[in-house]
Amino acid sequence: MFDRRQALIAFGALGGALANPAWAASEVAFSDSLTGNLSPVHDPCIIKADGLFHIFSTSRLNEGPGAIHWRTSKNLINWELKGAVMTQFPDWVKDELPDTRGAWAPDIIYTEGRYRLYYSLSMFGKNTSRIAMVSTPTLDTTRPDFGWRDDGIVVRSDARNDYNAIDSHTFIDDDGRHWLSWGSFWTGIKLAELDPKTGLLLKPKALPRSLVKRDPPGAVEAPVIFKREGYYYLFVSYDFCCRGVNSTYHTVVGRSKSVTGPYIDDRGKPMKDGGGRIVLHASLDPTGRWKGPGHCDVLSDDGRNYIVYHAYDGQNGGRATLRINTLTWTADGWPVAS
How many CB atoms neighbour CB 193 within 10 A?
Answer: 18
Residue bearing the bigger pLDDT, 20 or 265: 265
Q: How far is CA 282 from CA 99, 159, 165, 240, 248, in A?
A: 34, 34, 27, 12, 8
pLDDT exceeds 90 at position 150: yes
Q: Is 221 a catalytic residue?
A: yes
Mean pLDDT of 49-54: 97
> Across all residues in the chain, what is the average pLDDT?
91
Mean pLDDT of 191-200: 98
Q: Is 43 a catalytic residue?
A: yes
Rounded to an integer, what distance in angstroms lies between the CA atom of residue 248 and that of residue 244? Answer: 9
Rounded to an integer, what distance in angstroms lies between the CA atom of residue 44 and that of residue 308? Answer: 7
- Per-domain boundaries in the chain: 25-337
**122-143 residue pLDDT tens:** 987 899 999 999 999 999 999 9
Q: Which residues contact 7 (CB under 8 A, 6 or more apart)?
A: 240, 242, 243
When mean pLDDT is compared across 25-29, 170-174, 198-202, 298-302, the lowest value belongs to: 25-29
How many CB atoms neighbour CB 221 within 10 A?
Answer: 29
The pLDDT value given to residue 51: 95
Let me know: does 234 contact 225? Beta carbons within 8 Å.
Answer: yes
**167-191 residue pLDDT tens:** 999 999 999 999 999 999 999 999 9
Let me know: does 281 contact 337? Beta carbons within 8 Å.
Answer: no
Rounded to an integer, what distance in angstroms lies between the CA atom of residue 133 and that of residue 114? Answer: 12
pLDDT exceeds 90 at position 265: yes
Catalytic residue among 43, 107, 266, 285: 43
Domain 25-337, classified CATH 3.40.50.620, yes or no? no
The pLDDT value given to residue 5: 41
The pLDDT value given to residue 101: 86
Catalytic residue among 107, 167, 193, 221: 221
Model confidence, pTM: 0.91
Rounded to an integer, what distance in angstroms lies between the CA atom of residue 43 and that of residue 296? Answer: 7
